[in-house]
Amino acid sequence: MVTLEEKNLPKGWLLVKLGEVCKIQSGFAFKSEDYKHYGNPVIRISNIVNGTVELTEDTVYVSHHVVLGLDEFRIYPGELLIAMSGATTGKMGVVSNEIPSAYLNQRVGKFIPNPQKIESSYLRFFLAQPGYLEKILSNAFGSAIPNVSSSFIESLALPLPPIYEQKRIAAIAQKADRLRRTRRYALQLSDTFLQSVFLEMFGDPSKNPKGWDCTTIDNVVALSQYGTSEKSNYEKRGYPILGMGNITYSGHIDLNSVSYVELSKKEFSGLKLVPGDIIFNRTNSTELVGKTAHWNYNVDAVLASYLVKLKLKKEVLPDYFVALLNSNHFKQLFQERCKKAIGQSNISPTLLKEFPILVPPLPLQEKFAQIVQKFERLRTQQREAERQAEHLFQTILHRAFRGELTSSDINEEPASELLEQSPPKQTKPETTAKSGDTSTRDTAKNPDTFGKRQDTEAIQLKLPGFG
């Protein structure tokens, strides 16, 4: 994260408050009794997902008459929003192009940059620095769940270079951002590969078109064991412990963030994971309960209590078992049969063992396992490419906002002159659609939004110090 000190900024730059170049507009307090399953989307904090604003399954809507006269709360593709309350305060997202028009709910803020003073893409990349908002919120509120105001966000400091330099920095960052998104998308696409291979080799498990033998999971599991309920820590005291967040939806193991637990040698010996073990997520939300992964690491680790360790009998191989339980068929079964409670759902080992399972010939399972091994080697290469692209992006941001990528054009208008210009006004896209009417897609372009441009040029980065 950039340390902001005006004395360290290049000539022509200023350290300003966000409110001097951008305003934050809070949303409207819609009434829950007006919510419907159709109509005009209402964007809430839950709609901000992984840097974008999307229409999720829990999106609520309001009718046309509810939004009459609420044009100031209407949002459009490309605009940047921020969560202003709750545990995820500070998370931001750009409104997706799939949302032609929607309305801003309370506790969600919208950035309205002054186009004469700041490039919207420059502002977005500055705020995207890892830890920037999190550190500010932590310093301001400590461990309490924050509830920030527009004035608080507008009081944040940012370095303001001349407009031309802002555009230049944003263009460089955009290319690096496109590269990392491409790497990330390639990794996401690969998640569907094994399921396609699985269906080709074994058929749809809901129909069993190949006529495989059918039994229950109880008959193929030799041992089931709950994880430990001992309190974990992040100070690396003891042994690594996996939680439900370390298992991805598609059944991969993510060790990027691991906590630790202190156990005696005897306790650890009884709980230790060994290659070939199956990890089953017994407690989670209804959509995520039942995530399953194959532990194939020679690393000392144990499981937390929301996870269950399974050991299989020789008739079923771990790679086949994991692919089966992560299939769409089983995910649907888990959602239908799990024990639901407020905020979480559960599938105990006893309940899991009641589920039916198809048992194809072992040679076919072995062939599938060989494909999985080759695939995992490819995914390792993809993850490394993604890591390098992410590192490049963050390095560029770090250097750019320290002024280390600044051009030497002495004719640029200094940032001090930008602040003397008119105050920011919200720019509305030209559209023929009436307020509240989302039946037609609004394809008008807003020249001052955070939208993603369709850029087909080759991704080439030529930067000082990057070769």
Between β-strands 356-359 and 302-303, what pairing exists: parallel, antiparallel or unpaired? unpaired
Spatial contact of 165 and 375, defined as CB atoms under 8 Å apart: no
- Predicted pLDDT at 420: 61
Q: Pull the structure tokens for residue 448.
A: 């001052």
- Predicted pLDDT at 230: 94
Asked if residue 439 has pLDDT above 60, the reply is no
- Predicted pLDDT at 290: 96
Asked if residue 459 has pLDDT above 60, the reply is no
Q: Which residue's structure tokens are 């993510």?
A: 254
What is the rounded CA–CA span in Å between residue 211 and residue 193?
23
Max Cα distance, the chain (Å): 78
Nearest Cα to Cα of residue 310 among 375, 219, 212, 249: 219
- Predicted pLDDT at 105: 96
Instruction: Please give the average per-residue pLDDT across 387-392, as a whole number.
Output: 87
Asked if residue 438 has pLDDT above 80, the reply is no
Q: What is the CATH number of domain 213-359?
A: 3.90.220.20
Between β-strands 356-359 and 48-49, what pairing exists: parallel, antiparallel or unpaired? unpaired
Nearest Cα to Cα of residue 127 among 172, 166, 88, 92: 92
List the single range of 75-89, 115-129, 280-294, 420-434 with lowest mean pLDDT. Answer: 420-434
Q: Which of 157-166, 356-365, 394-403 has the highest mean pLDDT?
A: 356-365
- Predicted pLDDT at 407: 60
Cβ neighbours around 351 below 10 Å, total: 15
Percent of the chain with pLDDT over 90: 51
List the single range of 95-99, 362-366, 394-398, 442-446 with lowest mean pLDDT. Answer: 442-446
pLDDT (tens digit per residue) in 52-84: 898 887 899 999 999 999 999 999 998 999 998
* Phi/psi at 66 (5° precision): -70, -30
Instruction: Please give the average per-residue pLDDT across 331-348, as a whole number.
Output: 91
- Predicted pLDDT at 383: 84
What is the rounded CA–CA span in Å between residue 36 and residue 58?
11
pLDDT (tens digit per residue) in 222-278: 999 999 999 999 889 999 999 998 999 989 898 888 999 999 999 999 999 999 999
Nearest Cα to Cα of residue 180 among 398, 422, 396, 428: 396
Instruction: Please give the average per-residue pLDDT across 308-332, as a whole number.
Output: 96
Spatial contact of 378 and 386, defined as CB atoms under 8 Å apart: no
- Predicted pLDDT at 139: 62
Average pLDDT, the chain: 84
Q: Which helix (H) or strand (E) holds 378?
A: helix 362-400
Nearest Cα to Cα of residue 93 among 134, 132, 51: 51
467: confidence class by pLDDT, cuts 50, 70, 90: very low
- Predicted pLDDT at 123: 92
- Predicted pLDDT at 90: 84
Spatial contact of 218 and 315, defined as CB atoms under 8 Å apart: no
Instruction: Please give the average per-residue pLDDT across 280-299, as a whole number.
Output: 94
For the chain, the domains span 213-359
Nearest Cα to Cα of residue 309 among 251, 226, 219, 216: 226
pLDDT (tens digit per residue) in 177-229: 889 888 888 877 777 888 899 999 999 999 999 999 999 999 999 999 999 99
